[in-house]
Structure 1
Amino acid sequence: MAQIDLKSIIQNMTLEEKVAQLMQLSGNFYYGLAGEITGPFEEMGISEFVVKNSGSVLGVSGADTVRKIQAEHLKTNRHGIPLLFMADIVHGFKTIFPIPLAVGCSWDMELAEKSAEVAASEAAVAGVHVTFAPMVDLVRDPRWGRVLETTGEDSYLNSAFAKAFVRGFQGKDLAVDQMRVAACVKHFAAYGAPEGGRDYNTVNMSERQLRESYLSAYKAALDEGCEMVMTSFNTVDGIPATGNKWLMRDLLRKEWGFDGVLISDWGAVKELIPHGVAGNEAEAARKAILAGVDIEMMTPCYIRSLKNLIESGKVTETLLDEAVLRILKLKEKLGLFENPYRAADAVKEKEVILSESNREVACELAEKSCVLLKNDNVLPLDKQQNIALIGPFAQSSDILGAWSWQGEVDNTANLHEALQALTTNVTVAQGSHVETITDEQVTEAIEAAKAADVIVLAVGEYASMSGEACSRADITLPEAQLHLIKQMKTINKPIAVILFNGRPLDLHGVLDEADAVLEAWYPGTEGASAIANILFGKVNPSGKLTMSFPHTAGQIPVYYNAYNTGRPYDGVSRDHYLSKYLDIPNKPLLPFGFGLSYTNYIYENLRLSSDTMTADEQIQVSVTITNTGNYTGEEIVQLYIRDMTGDVVRPVKELKDFQKVSLNPKETKEIQFQLTEAQLRYYHQDMSFTSDEGLFEIYVGGSSEDVLTGGFTLKKMYTNLND
């Protein structure tokens, strides 16, 4: 690949041309081609000069469209600088995979990586260069609609998925492998912790909590080579992230050494004004560029103000040049100077997109993402049974979830179609809409249920009820569907509920009424087929929750790795003056790591190779697991620790490792983990990242609650007399 003298290009650019490189516009600015609008839009007063010299385009895809825009752009750009085409390819392009929260429940890094690779290949042939993914925000509040975009509440697991997604999107060399796209990790930082679960709301936490729980997944993505970072909408220590110099320059760039492109989220630069830290667009532009934001997405603060700020000496031109250089370096890494059309190919687009092999990956990942929450000997179904399929999702293809903007319901089978492909003994009735119900619907459902051997209820949320700006204070199923479930209960037939949703729900009225409950999330293009395979036992469910399900919204946030208080409640004590609720348990309804199977597993013989660990030695943790049932199954064996006496308060449990193991009926296997001193480290009072001498507990089991317990002592072979 020929070397491009990027600095010479920058030296020959005018100030206006350099500022324009920092502008990202949506596709409707280019020759009347419409892109997806995902945020507030207003008349921006963008000139033709800016459009012709801007650096990147948002939300445009399709090989012919991209090639046309790029060709027209290069005719008028006097430096021959190609456009970057960016889009939200979050969980698939045309082949839609399960939402990321569902992918998290697979605990399967290989499949997660493969899903990103498939998404990248489809996006690349359609002309996309950069995806705004992975979204790795740690989440603890299911009221927040965007929990569906993350892989859950655990920093260790989120970090592993962050790396897998980056590997899948980017491959090893973006210039060589043009069927990959550059990844952009988001939202930096701590976007997943808004007060009240309300989108865009204030985030307020200590630096220690930020570093320990929230920053690690972003860092993992960058360690894997992620090319871009997106700022978050929220505040960090009282300062909006997009104008937060400590977060972006001191931490991200200096401490972590990130030299890639930093892009604002949609409109986030101008939002410094309503946040109250900038009085006008010029002040917002100054704070964002000083913080290190390279690309401003869809607001004109840089365009309108940076030139004057530089000419007046309020911003140095060096900062502008650095930003432009980072943008041009990314274009060079993608090979755009040599081939500005990259992989965009209308013929290949038809071959790659929604190919049979891509659909197979989507189906397998959907199968592994479903979580069996309850099963009182109802599932799997027998194909000879008469099945009444009832509910608003019985014949709905609205199962793709948010950020599936290129997904097509016409290419998505519904559950009725998928069941019919496996059995003829299915009667269908709508039963209710998502939020409304009629007497006629109930009557039809009752007739279908009475004639059946088993009732399958397909219920959940509209896709539009989860996602950006979709916070919900009440996270129960809509009342219409709860009424439908009660009516079906009166028929005295076994009931299996299939849930289609984008967040953990308050499942009262569902879990207690149904005989079986399968959490399917929004499972994507092949989701209905995956669910049918599980219902009939072709696939044994193996998913485990990566986000706790609360008893009620009033219990939120509730998560497995919480701190003890000075007055901890053990769930049974009669002492009044303990940290507890009077009306519900402290623990979640369904804990992190929970998930059932069509078989049963027994954990026995937890053993540690030593009861003492030193700084340069590791402990081997062993456990035997037996499949006592009649189905081959895949179990996710989880290893947790607890530091019993820390420099600061430590979580009651922390996930440190896991393994997926396949077991035939009656088979026993020994599972081994290697635990090192490095896995025991955390941020201390002085922000040093180290471990403590003393006692540690070990927990191994099939969930964060169902575990065997052991322990060891860490000895570092020295004593600090000043402690």
Structure 2
Amino acid sequence: MHVRFPRHPARSLAPACALLSLALLLPSASAAPDASTAATPQPQPQEQPQQDAHARIEALISRMTVQEKAGQLSLYGPADIDTPNNPQAGWRNAQQETADVRAGRLTGLFNNAGLEGKRRLQQIAIKESRLGIPLIFGADVIHGFRTMFPMPLAEASSWEPALAERTARAAAVEATADGFRWTFAPMVDIARDARWGRGLEGVGEDVFLAKQFAAARVRGFQGTDLSRPDSMLATPKHFAAYGAAEGGLDYNVSDISERTLREVYLPPFRAALDAGALSVMSAFNEIGGVPSTANPALLTGVLRDEWKFRGFVVSDYTADEELVEHGYAANPREAAKQAFMAGTDVSMQSGLYMRYLPDLVASGEVPMARLDEAVRRVLRVKQKLGLLDDPMRGLDGLPAAQRPENPEFIALARESARRSIVMLKNDRMLLPLPKAGTKIALIGPFAEGTIDLMGAWSLFPGQSAPVGIDQGLRNALGPNSSVNVVRGSGIESALPGGIDAAVAAARDADVVLLAIGESQKMSGEARSRSDIGLPQAQQDLAEAVAATGKPVVVLLSNGRAMALKGAVRNARAILVTWFLGVQTGNAIADVVFGDFNPSGRLPVSFPQTAGQVPYYYGHKRTGRPSPESAPGTAFKTRYVDATNEALYPFGHGIGFSPVRYDSVELSSERMPLAGTLRVRATVTNTGSRDAEEVVQLYIAERAASVTRPVRELKGFRKLAIAPGASETVEFTLTADDLSFIGRDMKPTVEPGEFDLWVAPSAAGGIRKRFVLTRD
């Protein structure tokens, strides 16, 4: 998304939204603050600090010039950094940067490396600028700072929000020690098109799962008190519907209905804000003809009027300036006005606010009250971060590169990595492999240590190289290991003699571990792919190795759901290893040799072919569904060359022990509107090893005033089950779980018949029926 450090090429950020219908401006039933956020009288000792902070902020605003106010709304990347991949806007040299800080022409910097530079600039801000307002330093802390954890999509495969909270907390501790107090994360965009490269920064295709992870990551970054030195301001992004970009093409239009926006794309943002996030990033995309950075219905109508959001909105990288390219603004001055008046408080990188807001205020086109309110929002957040009281906090330690690695964070990285691995298949129990007496051929472009295992957004200095798969296997096997490592091919091109060497290694082995997939540069921002299969060079390698007849275990490194075919699809075992971060090799070895029983589950559906995308389990019904009993029936919703099902559905994953779903019991077949329904399920481990099973609860309403998805996830539990044992899990459904956006664009609950499944994935499971009644 943003500027990178000198040793890496630069990035740019995210999406944008659009003009919504008039109904979107109207508060909905879900907009009412819940009891925990409603205003209630507080004892005077607790009120006094807030009153003092308010008075202090108002006093500052009363003394500020219009130029200084515009400066508090202007954010830039570091000076003297050549970033050819990003728009060349707002760049300054070090002398200009220092002058801007001294004159109060910027509110902060992002992705600026090094404590020494931050200390120097902060000292200038507080001692040499007229009002002494401190800077805020932000960064793209997406999946770690020094200790790199799995990419967010990988970590979502754990189905453990508490794990994501822990890794976000660790990342915040490391980043704040390097002076950063603001992160442009978590990304909470729903992504249902595997062609879109930025899906790896989010949680996948499901709203319920995304809400849990959005809240968890905000809690992790921000901690229990934003004023603590190790707390980072979280920024859910990209508001909104960036993940719905047409064709899976980054920065593209998102042309969706208001109902889809409200039901699918907005709820994870609401969950993040309810968890305490005080900044939001606008998106690059448009919806309905209006880019989100200039969308008042979205930024003011939803955020401010409905959700009562009291933080600030920051544009994505030059997104305000890009209103001109969108064809929405005639010139940069008009773009600044439109973005600001719509509700974008802070301009990132373009410099438009500093350049045009003073004149727009002088001409009366931007009211002074609107300018003051934006500045008030920014200063209020700086105050909550403790910067107004202690501007130098987090700036007095050793730089990240000079600090020793934290062994607890390294252990957490390994735990997170192995819990993120999903085993898709394990025919005839090929895995786990015995550590003794097995000759292994490790083949593929990812077999040896490579930075690609980190995934995108590995930006910061002091990071250790990832543990390679080859090294992880040798660590597990010891000095007498028998692992023959052969690349066989490049990531996207053949190697001279590569396949011949791979075939020879396979023939000499008992089992082949095939390390294939996507490079770091094939998933991420501006990394949309029209073909979500393997590059042909790797597919050719897989076919040749499979032809030897030796059993093959696929180790798939990837940042998206992929369309698997041929020898890869038919391999005896498949592990989705995603981009796992610094402990990749050790985590994969833990699973391959059975030191850890894989417990990950897919947060995205794997389609049978690329032609099925966008593909997601919670699709709508049609009037001509293709019957499961007769898939070839003509004049139905079907493909002529494939079934409609996923190759591997959302929620799928297996462990080393088979698990059986024995029974599902409902507390009643009728649920009153004001009551609850208890669902009890019994699950049995029929194997000889411990198991962890993610038990999933889905519902579907059979008929409603608005058509409903064929299934919706409404709960999940991760159970530890001993060999031969049975465990009982209980879910409780309320009317809120059965609500949807009605014809009036407000949440509603309608009595009627519902189907319910307790299942190991979004396909199959034990099905029950109940009726929701008015009383």
Instruction: Check whether the contact 1:374–1:511 (CA below 8 A) recurs between aligned residues.
Output: no
Is 1:708 paired with 2:766? yes
Instruction: Check whether the contact 1:122–1:353 (CA below 8 A) recurs between aligned residues.
Output: no
Q: Aligned-pair distance for 1:350?
A: 6.5
Q: Aligned-pair distance for 1:509?
A: 2.6
1:358-377 equivalence runs, <5 A: 358-376=409-427, 377=429
Instruction: Check whether the contact 1:143–1:472 (CA below 8 A) recurs between aligned residues.
Output: yes
Give the counterpart of 1:65 among 117, 126, 141: 117
1:656 is matched with 714
2:677 is matched with 619
Give the counterpart of 2:467 among 413, 425, 443: 413
Is 1:164 paired with 2:216? yes
- Say which SS state the counterpart of residue 281 (structure 2) adopts: strand
Change (3 A) 1:610 1:36: farther
Q: Aligned-pair distance for 1:50?
A: 3.6
- Say which SS state the counterpart of residue 769 (structure 2) adopts: strand
Instruction: Check whether the contact 1:272–1:284 (CA below 8 A) recurs between aligned residues.
Output: yes
Q: Deviations over 1:344-383 (max 9, x none)?
A: 3433857866311001111111111110011112211111
**Residues in 2 aligned to 1:570 and 1:408: alpha-carbon distance in whole angstroms:** 56
Instruction: Check whether the contact 2:605–2:648 (CA below 8 A) recurs between aligned residues.
Output: yes
**Residues in 1 aligned to 2:363 and 2:297: alpha-carbon distance in whole angstroms:** 25
1:245 is matched with 296
**Residues in 1 aligned to 2:560 and 2:86: alpha-carbon distance in whole angstroms:** 22
- Say which SS state the counterpart of residue 157 (structure 2) adopts: helix
Q: Which range is displaced more, 195-204 or 448-457?
A: 448-457
Instruction: Check whether the contact 1:392–1:433 (CA below 8 A) recurs between aligned residues.
Output: yes
2:182 is matched with 130
Q: Deviations over 1:480-514 (max 9, x none)?
A: 00001011012111110101111111111354331
Q: Aligned-pair distance for 1:330?
A: 1.1
**Residues in 1 aligned to 2:510 and 2:561: alpha-carbon distance in whole angstroms:** 30
2:273 is matched with 222
1:41 is matched with 88
**Residues in 2 aligned to 1:38 and 1:187: alpha-carbon distance in whole angstroms:** 20
**Residues in 2 aligned to 1:447 and 1:636: alpha-carbon distance in whole angstroms:** 40
1:17-36 equivalence runs, <5 A: 17-28=68-79, 32=80, 34=81
Is 1:392 paired with 2:445? yes
1:421-460 equivalence runs, <5 A: 421-423=475-477, 424-460=481-517
**Residues in 1 aligned to 2:82 and 2:377: alpha-carbon distance in whole angstroms:** 25
Instruction: Check whether the contact 2:143–2:149 (CA below 8 A) recurs between aligned residues.
Output: yes
- Say which SS state the counterpart of residue 428 (structure 1) adopts: strand
**Residues in 2 aligned to 1:617 and 1:126: alpha-carbon distance in whole angstroms:** 51
**Residues in 2 aligned to 1:546 and 1:285: alpha-carbon distance in whole angstroms:** 38
Instruction: Check whether the contact 2:143–2:171 (CA below 8 A) recurs between aligned residues.
Output: yes
1:34-433 equivalence runs, <5 A: 34=81, 39-42=86-89, 49-52=99-102, 53=104, 54-175=106-227, 177-347=228-398, 349=400, 354-376=405-427, 377-384=429-436, 385-397=438-450, 398-406=452-460, 410-423=464-477, 424-433=481-490
Instruction: Check whether the contact 2:197–2:529 (CA below 8 A) recurs between aligned residues.
Output: yes
1:548 is matched with 605
Q: Aligned-pair distance for 1:69?
A: 2.2
- Say which SS state the counterpart of residue 257 (structure 1) adopts: coil
**Residues in 2 aligned to 1:550 and 1:503: alpha-carbon distance in whole angstroms:** 11
1:720 is matched with none
Instruction: Check whether the contact 1:498–1:517 (CA below 8 A) recurs between aligned residues.
Output: yes
1:584 is matched with 642
Q: Aligned-pair distance for 1:591?
A: 0.6
Give the counterpart of 1:12 among 63, 74, 84: 63
1:673-712 equivalence runs, <5 A: 673-712=731-770
**Residues in 1 aligned to 2:623 and 2:712: alpha-carbon distance in whole angstroms:** 19
Instruction: Check whether the contact 1:27–1:35 (CA below 8 A) recurs between aligned residues.
Output: no
**Residues in 1 aligned to 2:229 and 2:733: alpha-carbon distance in whole angstroms:** 39
Give the counterpart of 1:561 among 573, 595, 618: 618
Q: Which range is displaced more, 508-517 or 212-221?
A: 508-517
Q: Which range is displaced more, 399-408 or 200-209?
A: 399-408
Instruction: Check whether the contact 1:98–1:369 (CA below 8 A) recurs between aligned residues.
Output: yes
Instruction: Check whether the contact 1:59–1:87 (CA below 8 A) recurs between aligned residues.
Output: yes
TM-score normalised by L of structure 2: 0.90
Instruction: Check whether the contact 1:35–1:60 (CA below 8 A) recurs between aligned residues.
Output: no
**Residues in 1 aligned to 2:556 and 2:254: alpha-carbon distance in whole angstroms:** 30
> Which 5+ residue runs of structure 1 have no aligned equivalent?
718-723
Q: Which range is displaced more, 444-453 or 318-327?
A: 444-453
Q: Aligned-pair distance for 1:569?
A: 0.8
Is 1:522 paired with 2:579? yes
2:727 is matched with 669
**Residues in 1 aligned to 2:260 and 2:660: alpha-carbon distance in whole angstroms:** 36
Q: Aligned-pair distance for 1:527?
A: 1.6
Instruction: Check whether the contact 1:122–1:352 (CA below 8 A) recurs between aligned residues.
Output: no
Q: Deviations over 1:113-163 (max 9, x none)?
A: 000000000000010010000100001001000010010101111001000
Instruction: Check whether the contact 1:435–1:479 (CA below 8 A) recurs between aligned residues.
Output: yes
Aligned amino acid, residue 712 of structure 1: F
**Residues in 2 aligned to 1:636 and 1:222: alpha-carbon distance in whole angstroms:** 27
**Residues in 2 aligned to 1:42 and 1:295: alpha-carbon distance in whole angstroms:** 15
Residue-pair matches, total: 712
- Say which SS state the counterpart of residue 242 (structure 2) adopts: coil
Q: Aligned-pair distance for 1:550?
A: 1.3
**Residues in 2 aligned to 1:697 and 1:379: alpha-carbon distance in whole angstroms:** 36
Aligned amino acid, residue 473 of structure 1: S
Is 1:599 paired with 2:657? yes
> Which 5+ residue runs of structure 2 have no aligned equivalent?
1-48
Instruction: Check whether the contact 1:143–1:475 (CA below 8 A) recurs between aligned residues.
Output: yes
Q: Aligned-pair distance for 1:45?
A: 7.4
1:721 is matched with none
Q: Deviations over 1:556-586 (max 9, x none)?
A: 1111000010111123324311111100111
Give the counterpart of 1:490 among 547, 554, 568: 547
Q: Aligned-pair distance for 1:7?
A: 1.1
Instruction: Check whether the contact 1:95–1:353 (CA below 8 A) recurs between aligned residues.
Output: no
Instruction: Check whether the contact 2:114–2:399 (CA below 8 A) recurs between aligned residues.
Output: no
Change (3 A) 1:135 1:35: farther
Q: Deviations over 1:384-406 (max 9, x none)?
A: 20101111001032211111212
2:9 is matched with none
Give the counterpart of 2:537 among 480, 483, 487: 480
TM-score normalised by L of structure 1: 0.96
- Say which SS state the counterpart of residue 19 (structure 1) adopts: helix
Q: Deviations over 1:78-124 (max 9, x none)?
A: 11101010010011111111111111110001111000000000000
Give the counterpart of 1:637 among 695, 705, 718: 695
Q: Aligned-pair distance for 1:39?
A: 2.8
Aligned amino acid, residue 147 of structure 2: T
Instruction: Check whether the contact 1:393–1:459 (CA below 8 A) recurs between aligned residues.
Output: yes
**Residues in 2 aligned to 1:160 and 1:473: alpha-carbon distance in whole angstroms:** 30
Change (3 A) 1:45 1:101: closer
Change (3 A) 1:155 1:270: same
**Residues in 2 aligned to 1:526 and 1:345: alpha-carbon distance in whole angstroms:** 29
Q: Aligned-pair distance for 1:14?
A: 0.9
Q: Which range is displaced more, 42-51 or 191-200?
A: 42-51
Change (3 A) 1:407 1:64: closer
Change (3 A) 1:409 1:328: closer
- Say which SS state the counterpart of residue 313 (structure 1) adopts: coil
Change (3 A) 1:441 1:407: farther
